[in-house]
Structure 1
Amino acid sequence: MKTMIALQTALQDPTPSSGGLLSDIADWAVNLMETIGAPGAGLAIALENLFPPLPSEVILPLAGFTASRGSFTLVEALFWTTLGSLVGAVALYWIGRALGRERTRRLFAKVPLMDLNDVDRVEAWFDRHGAKAVFFGRMVPLFRSLVSIPAGVTAMPQWKFIGLTTAGSLIWNSIFVVAGFYLGENWHIVEEYAGIFQKVVIAAVVLYLLYFVVSKVRKVRRARAEDAVDGPAA
């Protein structure tokens, strides 16, 4: 209860990120943590992995903030949030394993502007750099959850996936949980700076998608133009 009162006081600060969705997520996360303790932080992060709209950049500092109020220790917050990250990631990994390479190839073959050569290139890249992708991907918004699926599709050894995911998650979680612990009622400052990083990542993804679509459209047009020239000659 003390944590909830302190949280409501902090969210009265008229910052752009205060109120609205942030307030709702914060209330839900703190209620969960106050009800079942540190495992609540782990459960919230496990759900964040499965439902990326739940932002870890809010939940993790809140876990640190709640620990600073004495609901549980900092070590417990780090342990349970990292365990939650691992549980959510392993669930997605096994979704990827269930899909498998062939089913994934058939699905992507039906996507407009995609062809199997694109899938082959992605698979070849992941075969070479999958370990780095899993480890560093745990520290990148949006990709934190998604990177688990290709790891499963390409059948990365589970022991390797678990080790890389645990290490990457522990680093990411520690930064935010410890920051929330020491910032206390100013925990939302972490979310504001993390939001900037997330916007940069989103902008990079959008730019890449635009480049991909434009290049694919040009390729299709060139192929049609070549067919039109070759047709009469035949």
Structure 2
Amino acid sequence: MMHELINIWMGWVTDWGYAGVILLMAMESSIFPVPSELVMPPAAIIAAGPNAPMSFWGVVIAGTVGSYVGSAITYLVARYAGIPFINRWGKYFFMPPAKVAKATVFMERYAVGGVFFARLLPVIRHLISIPAGIVRMNFWIFSLVTTLGAFIWCTVLTWYGHRIGSEHPDILKDPDKLKEAVKAESLGLVICVVVLAALYVLMIKMTSRKKKEQDIQH
């Protein structure tokens, strides 16, 4: 079934161009588990072809717009529907209450930086908008860091797609091979993001500890 879905999603990118990229990335950034690795790289490969209907930066912008739209909708639903709605329906979209609760604690601790780094990490990218809405993070700040993170992620995936397509011109015929190739290429990026996120968390903890010590002294 997953293989069939992958072929359908890649068909949307091929047939609909930018509109397909926007729709799929909006789904990827909301409650639908569409892998961005199977949206942006294929679009980049198509954009690199002769007489291509899309361009490199056009694909990046379309991906960024789609990511923001999906994230903003999810944020607004979480903000105004609240925890009861998530607890009732979240399990049907791979977001059980326990998982959302952990993400909410993370959001309360690391706020803006947490949203930014989450946008650069697979799996949790689509989840972070929910706790951001639940804790009522400022919408415009949320929008800014979400757009920035999405732009960086979309640019990297588009670059990887362009590179992989130039080395393997027929890779679009094998979605599974494409997915594995992108995962292998993007592993270094994910490791760098994890390291930077860990340093950010350490900085927050050290700052918080120092502030507590100063409060005790005064």
The TM-score normalised by the length of structure 2 is: 0.65
Say whether the 8 Å CA contact 2:48–2:56 is kept in structure 1.
yes
Say whether the 8 Å CA contact 2:26–2:69 is kept in structure 1.
yes
Partner Cα distance (1:169, 1:39) in 2? 17
Say whether the 8 Å CA contact 1:138–1:165 is kept in structure 2.
yes
Match of 2:179 among 174, 185, 191: 191
Partner Cα distance (2:104, 2:23) in 1? 32
Stretch of structure 1 that moved more, 40-49 or 158-167:
40-49
- Classify the secondary structure of the residue corresponding to 2:137: coil
Say whether the 8 Å CA contact 1:26–1:62 is kept in structure 2.
no
Q: 1:124 to 1:56 in 2, by over 3 A?
A: closer
Residue by residue over 1:158-209, the C-alpha shift from the partner in whole angstroms, topping out at 9 and shown as x without a partner, is 1100100011111111111111123213476662155475xx99xxxxxxxx
**Is 1:163 matched with 2:144?**
yes
In structure 1, the partner of 2:46 is 66
Q: 1:28 to 1:158 in 2, by over 3 A?
A: same
Q: 1:26 to 1:63 in 2, by over 3 A?
A: farther
The TM-score normalised by the length of structure 1 is: 0.61
Written as runs of structure 1 = structure 2, the 5 A alignment for 1:46-195 is: 46-69=26-49, 70-100=52-82, 103=84, 125-184=106-165, 185=169, 186=171, 191-192=179-180, 195=183
In structure 2, the partner of 1:3 is none
Say whether the 8 Å CA contact 1:64–1:77 is kept in structure 2.
yes
Displacement of 1:52: 4.0
Displacement of 1:78: 0.4
Q: 1:65 to 1:128 in 2, by over 3 A?
A: same
Say whether the 8 Å CA contact 1:176–1:190 is kept in structure 2.
no
Q: Aligned-pair RMSD on alpha carbons? A: 3.3
Which runs of 5 or more structure 2 residues have no equivalent in the other structure? 89-97, 192-218
> How many residues matched?
170
Displacement of 1:57: 1.3
Identity %: 27
- Classify the secondary structure of the residue corresponding to 2:76: helix
